[in-house]
């Protein structure tokens, strides 16, 4: 069953929502087989797949390429497409870019910050919107936790409420104190999805490359369930060793159909 804003709403407070990012077709295929209810084609693709220093280098064309690949791998899963930096600068510009992500295969779009006029405009034109507050990497000056003082916490809570009020159906909370994650989750009617926001959110999201151990740096709040970079290195060494030793390919055995 493909989830919708309505079914995610129904999960709030009952069934924790497990979201993973996905950028490529084979990964999307595996996540769909695993029953992951929602995939995020995040602009983190710029950092974890493309080697950029920040998410600000990511373009709408990059996102369209990756949304298409994920959709082809996961035809029956709700896919959120991230609006890249500056493509949501005003309501009409945001609508134009959101429609391109939807045309590429996204079911909904995500944007950073309490941009109420933008969110309202997208929702009024039939586009489902996911919000994102706390640490918002497109504009963040540092990657330290947000909302540690009471004044800052009040601002994050106010932004979360403004995003809900504008019509978003889900909200990503990034890198905030656990108590603030719990407070926002208890206050909002829409489901919250945390990344470094504590265990009390309605769901959790991880960057798939972080979860896979595919990379050289992982944020402290992520978790590695495998070490794919090590596996890749082992594969490359094994292959190179067999080529050097002329053990690969073994043409005679393959041609005889015995391998």
- List CB contacts of 213: < 8 A, sequence separation 6 or more: 224, 225, 226, 227, 228, 229, 230
H or E element in which residue 120 lies:
helix 116-124
Q: According to CB under 6 A, which one of 32, 82, 202, 210 is a site residue for ligand KIV?
A: 82
Nearest distance, CB of residue 115 and Na ion, angstroms: 14
- What residues numbered 186-225 form the site for ligand KIV, per CB under 6 A? 195, 205, 207
Catalytic residue among 174, 233, 242, 247: 174
- What residues numbered 89-148 form the site for ligand KIV, per CB under 6 A? 132
Is 216 annotated to bind a ligand? Reply is: no
* C-alpha to C-alpha distance for 105 and 47, rounded to whole angstroms: 22
- Is there a catalytic annotation at residue 57? no
Task: Yes or no: say if 133 and 145 are a contact pair by the CB < 8 Å rule.
Answer: no
Instruction: Give the HSE-up count for residue 74: Cα atoms under 13 Å, Cβ half-sphere.
Output: 35
User: Which stretch, 6-14, 35-43, 63-71, 243-251, contacts ligand KIV (CB under 6 A)?
Assistant: 35-43
- What are residue 82's phi and psi, to 5 degrees? -80, 135
User: Binds 133, which of ligand KIV, Na ion, none (CB < 5 to 8 A, cut-off by type)?
Assistant: none
Nearest distance, CB of residue 46 and Na ion, angstroms: 9
Positions marked active-site = 174
Residue ranges of the binding site for 3-methyl-2-oxobutanoate: 43-44, 82, 110
């Amino acid at each position: 069953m493909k989830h919708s804003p309505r079914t995610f709403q129904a999960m709030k407070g009952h069934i924790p929502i497990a979201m993973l990012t996905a950028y490529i077709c084979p990964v999307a295929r595996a996540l769909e087989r695993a029953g992951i209810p929602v995939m995020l084609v995040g602009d983190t693709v710029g950092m974890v797949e493309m080697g950029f220093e920040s998410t600000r280098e990511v373009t709408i064309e990059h996102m369209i390429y990756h949304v298409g690949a994920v959709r082809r791998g996961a035809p029956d899963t709700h896919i959120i497409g991230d609006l890249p930096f500056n493509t949501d600068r005003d309501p009409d510009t945001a609508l134009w870019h959101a429609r391109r992500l939807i045309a590429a295969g996204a079911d909904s779009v995500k944007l950073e910050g309490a941009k109420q006029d933008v969110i309202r405009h997208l929702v009024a034109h039939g586009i489902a919107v996911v919000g994102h507050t706390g640490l918002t990497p497109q504009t963040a000056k540092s990657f330290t936790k947000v909302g540690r003082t009471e004044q800052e916490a009040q601002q994050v809570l106010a932004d979360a409420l403004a995003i809900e009020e504008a019509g978003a159906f889900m909200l990503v909370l990034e890198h905030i104190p656990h108590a603030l994650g719990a407070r926002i989750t208890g206050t909002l009617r829409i489901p919250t999805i945390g990344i470094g926001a504590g265990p009390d959110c309605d769901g959790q999201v991880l960057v798939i490359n972080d979860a896979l151990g595919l990379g050289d740096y992982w944020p402290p709040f992520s978790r590695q369930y495998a070490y794919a970079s090590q596996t890749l290195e082992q594969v490359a060494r094994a292959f190179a060793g067999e080529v050097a030793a002329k053990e690969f390919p073994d043409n005679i055995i393959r041609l005889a159909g015995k391998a």
